[in-house]
Amino acid sequence: MSVQSEKEQIKFPELPLITEDLLSKAQASAACQTAEYTLAERKELLDKIKKLLKQQDAVLVAHYYTSDDLQQLAEESGGYVADSLEMARFGHDHPASTLIVAGVRFMGETAKILNPEKRVLMPDIEATCSLDLECPADLFTDFCDAHPEYTSVVYANTSAAVKARADWVVTSGIALPIIKHLAERNEKVLWAPDRHLGSYVQRETGVDMLIWPGSCVIHEQFKADGIRNLKKEYPKAQVLVHPESPAEVVDLADVVGSTTGLIKASLNPEVNEFIVATEPGIFYKMKQASPGKIFLEAPSGGLGGTCESCLRCPWMAMNGLRNLAEVLETGANEITIEEDIRVKALVPIQRMLDFAREQQIVVKDKGNA
Ligand code: SF4
């Protein structure tokens, strides 16, 4: 039997469904946070949070996909806006004893894995990610056990328990060099959980890979036809695409990159118009760095986001000023990880960081989801 047909015989487990109910629940929680405040309410909340951050010896680290308010507050209060790994690393270097992670749960967990001595709180601990949900630790462990000849490589968007079972953790920025490195050692790769990023890496490297069939509810929605049409209206626009998007969208990209990679691409002084295929929270940083430029959302199928037209990740949108203030007051929503899981999950993360250092790859500049 050929290698290809042997692979075709391999059946992946049935993944948990990302149901409309699940999305509606997240959208409802997000709606509470995104409900309009008056200017006076907003100022009152911001003043209160800044005071509480000082009182609690806390620092706010926010992901690029959170609201403009949270990103601005993180910057104004001495915190940081970044991808998940840089959020954790900033938290590690910062002297504060409490990290407030505005993002989704795997980001809070990564912060805790790298900073066990610190208290890690999240505005909403139920904020999750479709990639994390579609890769439960028990299914992943069973699948790895059934295919021990493969080296397991998981994307950052996974739970601590999945990372604890993996050989490597990668961000989207460092995935290609790590997979090439494994190929040089003749290793076959079991990749999880994002199938689009996995296929992109496989196409670029030609490595023998088994690819878990998970996906991001947001990036999966981008449509190649819509981008082609928009490109007719804006022929000079560059197309910036996150590799969690489908292959036909990636094929249209002028630049394929992680969040940090796309922000860097938007700084190109020769280009003034961009069609951007990633979560639109990223526009805050792009517009801040290049105020005169035009940034257009890539057209999508309109499912999965906080509303049909906006493509905001419903779980990212569960972070807001209101629940942030509440968490600082109550100390609720603390991330805890069993120590044996944390120690095991640290191993593949550290392997990635050591590889980046040895290869002089600046993970900070590449970033991840
Ligand atoms: S945008 Fe996609 S990958 Fe990012 S947190 Fe939301 S569901 Fe997960």
Dump pLDDT digits (tens) for 44-60: 999 999 999 999 999 99
- Which pLDDT score is estimated for 308? 46
Homologous superfamily of 20-129+316-330 in CATH? Answer: NadA-like (3.40.50.10800)
- Which pLDDT score is estimated for 332? 97
Model's pTM, two decimal places?
A: 0.93
**Comparing 20-129+316-330 with 219-297, is the CATH topology the same?**
yes
Ramachandran region, residue 206 (left: φ > 0; alpha: ψ -120 to 50; beta: rest):
left
132 Cα nearest atom in ligand 1? 8
Closest CA to 154 of 246, 141, 146, 310: 141
CA of 130 to the centre of ligand 1 (A): 6
Which residue has the least CA distance to atom 2 on ligand 1?
216
- Give yes or no for residue 216 CB within 6 A of ligand 1: yes
Handedness of CA 168, 171, 175, 178 (dihedral sign): negative
- Which pLDDT score is estimated for 360? 72
User: HEC states along 58-117?
Assistant: EEEEEECCCCHHHHHHHHHCCCEEECHHHHHHHHHHCCCCEEEEECCHHHHHHHHHHCCC
Supply the CATH classification number for the domain 131-215+339-365. 3.40.50.10800
Residue 91 CB neighbours (<10 A): 26
Residues 6 or more apart in contact with residue 131 via CB below 8 angstroms: 155, 157, 158, 193, 194, 214, 215, 216, 369
Asked if residues 124 and 101 have their Cβ atoms less than 8 Å apart, the reply is: no
- Give yes or no for residue 134 CB within 6 A of ligand 1: no
Instruction: Name the CATH architecture for the domain at 219-297.
Output: 3-Layer(aba) Sandwich (3.40)
- Which pLDDT score is estimated for 32? 87
Which phi and psi angles does 163 have, rounded to 5°? -60, -35
Residues, the chain:
369
pLDDT tens figures, 155-170: 999 999 999 999 999 9
Closest CA to 154 of 192, 105, 188, 205: 192
pLDDT beneath 70: ranges in the chain: 1-8, 302-310, 361-369
- Which pLDDT score is estimated for 91? 86
Asked if residues 259 and 242 have their Cβ atoms less than 8 Å apart, the reply is: yes
- Which pLDDT score is estimated for 62? 97
Give me the residue label for tokens 């620092």. Answer: 59
Which phi and psi angles does 128 have, rounded to 5°? -130, -155
Query: How do the domains of the chain map onto residue ranges?
Result: 20-129+316-330, 131-215+339-365, 219-297
- Give yes or no for residue 129 CB within 6 A of ligand 1: yes
Which residue has the least CA distance to atom 8 on ligand 1?
129
